[in-house]
Amino acid sequence: MVIHDADRVIARRMFQIAVGMVAAREEDPTAQGLAKSALDAPSAMTIRALVAAGRDKPWLPSVIDALAQVGIAAAEDVLGGHS
């Protein structure tokens, strides 16, 4: 089954908001740069780097929640589920 457009839009916006907050407000320039990279070119590499930089940071749960929504939206395509 294909991801529904509404699910895709919601997941994308949640990701953009959570990671955008890190890019705009994080005081650590490394984490801020990683957030900008994850927004500009979201990939396994840029997102994993951001998550690794987020250990013990107050914003990490928001980023993880947004990534969970992306995963849920893509679950059927990635995991081969049926509705």
**Which amino acid is located at 15 in the chain?**
F
Predicted structure pTM score: 0.87
pLDDT of residue 78: 78
- Write the burial class of residue 3 (CB in 10 Å: 0-12 exposed, 13-18 middle, 19+ buried): middle
Query: 67 pLDDT exceeds 60?
Result: yes
pLDDT tens per residue across span 2-23: 667 888 899 999 999 999 999 9
Domain range summary for the chain, segments of one domain joined by +: 5-78
DSSP type of residue 82 = -
| Residues 52 and 43 sit within 8 Å (Cβ to Cβ) | no
pLDDT band with cut points at 50, 70 and 90 for residue 45: very high
Rounded Cα–Cα distance for residues 4 and 22 (Å): 28
pLDDT digits 0-9 by tens, 18-30: 999 999 999 999 9
pLDDT of 76 > 90? The answer is: no
